[in-house]
């Protein structure tokens, strides 16, 4: 601060006009103090109260050092300055003790004032400005930068012209590039990777035109040429005029996780394939035994075979479910849409479930909107959805309960609703319902038979058909699942396999 020369003149004026000083002190929002030769306050302006909690009188007679944070007082400089060892104006930044025991960061300007009698610098006029807010936002920024610099995700900022302005140190570990190597370059070095033109277009359309965050997986090339997979979230930061001011990208290397996932899926697919053949062979042989192809069975032998056969069926179901999961996860499911009447499709599912419905004495209520046109969906896939939701509704409803199916058309989509009066799903587990292997705490004891794969598959199928699925439930009262399918139907998707019902 080199405002000293003018202020010195002001100080001299004040020195000669104590009343003027008081007047200024009363209105000035920063604190003004005058210290005697021993650094005791002899004047304190009313701002001491608003800023630090003290009435001016409470400061008078006290040494200014009593209000210094001890860490800020230790500096030799401070005491030396106040000893007037260095003549003239000086500035200091320190923490000032408030009446409430806390500290405020202050910046002070200090002017030695000539003693009117002795004519030498005896007094000090101290102007103290509270800079706590500024300090704390500076601290925040410092901490924030620290967090970004030590993050294991790689964080990049680019300006509106997509030129990299900042890259954190993790950039090196993930991409192989040192931050200075990419700063000043186009972001496509880092974010565009191996993506095709359409994907790239969509990404920049989302970011630059729609001005919405973009999330995606990007296959990229490191500096050394090796490939890696990034999970990236890029957000456009807008200015007051809603123009993109800059972009922030946070990316994580998911190469290893992807590989592990792929191996898991591959293993499940392989194991279930290999299990299916012997299980099917057992099924045929047992059916032959039950049909009497190799002679009559005694009553007891028949009961045993029926029981083995049921266990075998359960294993086949599980293996099929696992196979379906691995097919869905590897994205090889074929979508083969044909115009389908959902009411007819539901009827075929109900026919299949008739035995179970009778067995549990379920009251089944079916209501289908009259204006339900055929929609272009893959009946094999959607049949699986109805089958899973309806068999769950039956399975998780006590004997004599009710299951309702309601299919309606809102002009844009067809909504299917499947409600039951069963055990319900605990609220605390709602977020896990569509997870792989989820089985409800409340029903796992009542119904031991279940894989926890049904709803996971249902959700994947609905989403692959551009639909949505949601539910509501109350424990002890019942559960409702809804799913929607666009009236326009789905586009065909080539794939290698379809799912096993
Ligand atoms: P599974 O029925 O083979 O256990 P699902 O994936 O179909 O597997 O269902 C997962 C879990 O969700 C079930 O175990 C059950 O706890 C809960 N659930 C699904 N549908 C219902 C329902 N209609 N009523 C109560 N709970 C349900």
* 349 shares a domain with 323: no
Asked, for residue 468, whether it belongs to a domain, the answer is yes
Q: Determine which helix (DSSP H) or strand (DSSP E) holds 175, and give its type and residue range.
A: helix 170-175
* 271 shares a domain with 386: no
pLDDT in tens, 174-196: 989 999 998 999 888 777 667 77
Asked, for residue 491, whether it belongs to a domain, the answer is no
> Beta partners for 147?
none
pLDDT in tens, 464-498: 888 999 999 999 999 999 999 999 998 887 776 67
Does residue 212 sit in helix, strand or coil?
coil
Asked, for residue 498, whether it belongs to a domain, the answer is no
Asked, for residue 120, whether it belongs to a domain, the answer is yes
Q: Report the range out of 81-95, 326-340, 392-406, 487-501 with the highest average pLDDT.
A: 392-406
How confident is the prediction for the chain on average, in pLDDT? Answer: 88
What percentage of the chain carries pLDDT values higher than 70? 93
Q: Which two tokens stand for residue 351?
A: 């026919």
- Determine contact, residues 118/102, Cβ cutoff 8 Å: no
* 395 shares a domain with 299: no
Q: What is the CATH number of the domain that holds 466?
A: 3.30.565.10
CA-based nearest residue to 420, from 474, 478, 483, 475: 478
* 446 shares a domain with 313: no
Residues with CB under 6 A from ligand 1: 388, 392-393, 396, 420, 422-425, 433, 438-440, 443, 450-456, 479
DSSP 64-124: GGGGB-HHHH--HHHHHHHTT-S-S-EEEEEEEEPTTS-EEEEEEEEEEEE-TTT-SEEEE
Does residue 289 sit in helix, strand or coil?
helix
d(CA 480, CA 160): 47
Asked, for residue 171, whether it belongs to a domain, the answer is yes
* 464 shares a domain with 448: yes
Q: Whose CA is nearest to atom 16 of ligand 1?
A: 440
- Determine contact, residues 23/35, Cβ cutoff 8 Å: no
Q: Whose CA is nearest to atom 19 of ligand 1?
A: 392
Residue 430 DSSP label: G
Q: Which two tokens stand for residue 6?
A: 């003018």
Count of domains for the chain: 4
* 276 shares a domain with 362: no
* 186 shares a domain with 217: yes
- Determine contact, residues 62/55, Cβ cutoff 8 Å: no
Structural domain of 268: 258-330
* 482 shares a domain with 345: yes
Ligand 1 atom closest to Cα of residue 443 = 16
* 126 shares a domain with 176: no
* 124 shares a domain with 14: yes
* Residue 297 CA to ligand 1 centre (angstroms): 38
* 472 shares a domain with 353: yes
Q: Which residues contact 397 (CB under 8 A, 6 or more apart)?
A: 360, 362, 403, 420, 421, 422, 423, 478
Q: Determine which helix (DSSP H) or strand (DSSP E) holds 195, and give its type and residue range.
A: none
d(CA 304, CA 296): 14
* Residue 444 CA to ligand 1 centre (angstroms): 9
Asked, for residue 146, whether it belongs to a domain, the answer is no
pLDDT for the residue numbered 2: 44
CA-based nearest residue to 433, from 341, 441, 115: 441
Residue 64 pLDDT more than 80? yes
* Residue 396 CA to ligand 1 centre (angstroms): 7
Q: Whose CA is nearest to atom 20 of ligand 1?
A: 392
Ligand 1 atom closest to Cα of residue 424 = 25
Tell me the whole-structure pTM to 2 decimals: 0.60
- Provide the pairing of β-strand 214-221 with 227-238: antiparallel
* 448 shares a domain with 383: yes
Q: Whose CA is nearest to atom 11 of ligand 1?
A: 439
Residue 78 pLDDT more than 90? no
Q: Whose CA is nearest to atom 23 of ligand 1?
A: 393
Q: Whose CA is nearest to atom 25 of ligand 1?
A: 424
Ligand 1: residue of 318, 325, 396 to mutate (most ligand atoms within 8 A of CB) is: 396
Last residue of a domain, one of 232, 253, 274: 253
Q: What is the CATH number of the domain that holds 31?
A: 3.30.450.20
pLDDT in tens, 12-29: 666 667 677 777 777 888
């Amino acid at each position: 601060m080199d405002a000293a020369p003018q202020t010195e003149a002001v100080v001299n004026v004040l020195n000669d006009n104590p009343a003027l000083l008081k007047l200024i002190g009363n209105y000035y929002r920063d604190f003004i103090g005058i210290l005697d030769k021993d650094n005791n306050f002899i004047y304190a302006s009313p701002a001491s109260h608003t800023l630090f909690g003290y009435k001016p009188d409470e400061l008078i007679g006290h040494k200014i050092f009593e209000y210094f944070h001890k860490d800020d007082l230790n500096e030799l400089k401070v005491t030396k300055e106040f000893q007037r060892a260095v003549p003239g104006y000086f500035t200091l930044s320190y923490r000032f003790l408030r009446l409430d025991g806390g500290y405020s960061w202050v910046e002070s300007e200090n002017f030695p004032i000539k003693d009117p009698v002795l004519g030498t610098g005896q007094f000090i006029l101290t102007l103290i400005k509270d800079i706590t807010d500024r300090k704390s936002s500076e601290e925040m920024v410092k901490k924030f930068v620290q967090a970004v610099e030590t993050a294991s995700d790689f964080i990049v900022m680019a300006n509106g012209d997509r030129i990299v302005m900042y890259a954190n140190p993790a950039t090196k570990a993930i991409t192989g590039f040192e931050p200075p190597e990419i700063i000043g370059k186009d972001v496509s070095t880092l974010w565009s990777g191996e993506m095709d033109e359409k994907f790239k277009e969509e990404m920049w359309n989302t970011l630059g035109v729609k001005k919405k965050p973009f999330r995606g997986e990007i296959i990229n090339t490191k500096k050394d040429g090796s490939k890696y997979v990034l999970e990236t979230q890029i957000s456009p930061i807008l200015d007051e005029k809603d123009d993109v001011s800059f972009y922030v990208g946070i990316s994580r290397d998911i190469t290893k996780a992807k590989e592990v996932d792929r191996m898991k899926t591959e293993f499940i697919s392989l194991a279930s394939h290999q299990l299916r053949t012997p299980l099917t062979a057992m099924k045929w042989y047992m059916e032959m035994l039950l049909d009497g192809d190799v002679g009559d069975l005694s009553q007891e032998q028949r009961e045993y075979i029926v029981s083995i056969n049921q266990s075998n069926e359960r294993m086949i179901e599980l293996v099929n479910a696992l196979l379906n999961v691995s097919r869905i996860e590897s994205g090889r499911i074929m979508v083969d849409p044909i115009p389908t009447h959902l009411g007819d499709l539901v009827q075929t599912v109900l026919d299949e479930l008739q035995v179970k419905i009778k067995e549990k004495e379920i009251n089944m209520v079916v209501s289908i909107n009259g204006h339900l046109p055929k929609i272009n969906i893959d009946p094999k896939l959607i049949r699986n959805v109805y089958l899973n939701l309806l068999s769950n509704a039956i399975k998780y409803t006590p004997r004599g309960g009710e299951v309702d199916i309601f299919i309606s058309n809102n002009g844009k989509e067809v909504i299917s609703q499947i409600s039951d009066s069963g055990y319900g799903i605990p609220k605390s587990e709602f977020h896990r319902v569509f997870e792989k292997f989820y089985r409800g705490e409340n029903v796992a004891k009542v119904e031991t038979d279940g894989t926890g794969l049904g709803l996971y598959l249902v959700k994947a199928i609905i989403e692959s058909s551009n639909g949505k699925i949601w539910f509501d439930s109350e424990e002890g009262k019942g559960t409702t699942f809804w799913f929607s399918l666009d009236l326009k139907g789905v586009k065909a998707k080539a794939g290698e396999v379809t799912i096993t019902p």
